């Protein structure tokens, strides 16, 4: 049996996992990222978690084939350098070399959303596809693209930024500096913003009731929960959110025409009230609507494990 280590470097946590050749996670080890702090300290903790995961799996590092890392930002998979990551404060950071100081094994890096897409392609919702796109609806909108079984990162390793395509010219500001981005409308953050805007317009809406019951916190669930109580303003928020989500997904399908487009993130837990109307809009608007074969829209299956599994097998594309 062959073993690999995948590391998911997040803004909050560092998670390392031992993964076997069947794409099964054997053990995990995690610690807080504790940013901001020097990159070498973060790399030290990443290596420590890799060692800990191997120890808990009952294997030595000699039994590991390689280490793969999914990191936020522009990750140069050829040099092992994170060229820029605003979340971590990395700039031209030789992350692979920093980890290799502790672990004498090949170390490969990739953008975290790309690694997650690769995981879904290998062992999840996109398994068996030749071409796939994965979109994660979280704090932002992450994208990962698989073309002919390979991660597509663009000529400068900054590809797949699907969230930063504009769907509403001069629309809501996005954290990237543009206005009207897919991310500004279809992320959980965007959904919360639209919910708060509707609450300001309708002080008698059940949106306020639900928020009060949850200690004043508005979440991505608030509008959907109020909609289920028959609240019209909440229904309008949900309708708008689905409209924007369908627009971004339709654009993505029109460009890439994948076999599978999988979406993940907490908002997907809403199930049919989200998925059925969204799919109906996409089917109506996609350019290839008369084709005998269109992209299959599915829910991501692996959750947070997608990035760990994808990272663990990054070395396969370098062999």
- 241 and 195 in one domain? yes
Contacts 24+ apart (CB under 8 A), 154-157: 156/74, 157/74, 157/75, 157/76, 157/77, 157/83, 157/111
Q: Which CATH number does the domain housing residue 201 bear?
A: 3.30.420.40
Range of the domain at 234: 128-299
Whole-number Å distance between alpha carbons of 223 and 233: 8
- φ/ψ (deg, to 5) at 96: -60, -45
Q: Are 19 and 53 in contact (CB under 8 A)?
A: no
pLDDT per residue over 169-216, tens digit each?
Answer: 999 999 888 999 999 999 999 999 999 999 999 999 999 999 999 999
- 265 and 235 in one domain? yes
Total length of the chain: 319
pLDDT per residue over 87-108, tens digit each?
Answer: 788 999 999 999 999 999 999 9
Q: What would the two tokens of residue 21 be? A: 């050749």
- 149 and 110 in one domain? no
Share the mean pLDDT of the chain: 93
Question: What are the CA-CA distances from residue 119 to residues 12, 45, 133 (Å)?
Answer: 21, 23, 12
Q: What would the two tokens of residue 70 be? A: 């999914």
User: Rounded mean pLDDT of 1-29?
Assistant: 94
pTM for the full model?
Answer: 0.89
- 155 and 102 in one domain? no
User: Rounded mean pLDDT of 241-246?
Assistant: 97
Beta bridge partners of 299: 263
- 177 and 110 in one domain? no
Which residue, chain included where needed, has tokens 């996670």? 25
**Angle of CA points 252, 256, 259, to nearest 5°:** 105
- 107 and 21 in one domain? yes
- As a whole-number percent, the residues of the chain with pLDDT over 90 amount to 83
Residue 92 is predicted with a pLDDT of: 96
- 313 and 243 in one domain? no
Q: Domains in the chain: how many in total?
A: 2
- 192 and 235 in one domain? yes
- 144 and 96 in one domain? no
């Amino acid at each position: 049996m062959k073993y690999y280590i995948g590391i998911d470097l997040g803004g909050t946590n560092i998670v390392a996992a031992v993964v076997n050749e069947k794409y099964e996670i054997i053990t995990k080890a995690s610690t807080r990222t504790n940013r901001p702090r020097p990159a070498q300290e973060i790399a030290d903790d990443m290596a420590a978690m890799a060692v800990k995961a191997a120890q808990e799996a009952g294997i030595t590092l000699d039994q590991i084939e390689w280490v793969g890392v999914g990191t936020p930002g522009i990750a140069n998979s050829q040099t092992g350098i994170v060229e820029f990551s605003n979340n971590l404060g990395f700039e031209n950071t030789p992350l692979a070399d920093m980890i290799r100081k502790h672990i004498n094994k090949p170390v490969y890096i990739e953008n975290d959303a790309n690694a997650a897409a690769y995981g879904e392609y290998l062992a999840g919702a996109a398994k068996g596809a030749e071409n796939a796109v994965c979109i994660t609806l979280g704090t932002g909108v992450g994208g990962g693209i698989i073309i002919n079984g390979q991660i597509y990162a663009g000529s400068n390793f900054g590809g797949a930024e699907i969230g930063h395509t504009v769907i509403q010219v001069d629309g809501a500001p996005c954290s990237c500096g543009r206005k009207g981005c897919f991310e500004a409308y279809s992320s959980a953050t965007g959904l919360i913003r639209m919910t708060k805007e509707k609450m300001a317009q309708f002080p008698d809406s059940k949106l306020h009731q639900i928020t009060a019951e949850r200690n004043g916190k508005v979440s991505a669930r608030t509008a959907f929960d109020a909609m289920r109580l028959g609240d019209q303003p909440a229904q309008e928020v949900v309708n708008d959110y689905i409209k924007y989500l369908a627009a971004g997904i339709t654009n993505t399908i029109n460009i890439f025409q994948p076999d599978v487009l999988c979406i993940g993130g907490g908002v997907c837990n809403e199930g049919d009230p989200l998925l059925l109307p969204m799919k109906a809009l996409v089917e109506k608007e996609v350019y290839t609507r008369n084709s005998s074969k269109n992209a299959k829209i599915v829910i991501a299956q692996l959750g947070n494990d997608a990035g760990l599994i994808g990272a663990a097998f990054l070395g396969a594309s370098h062999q």
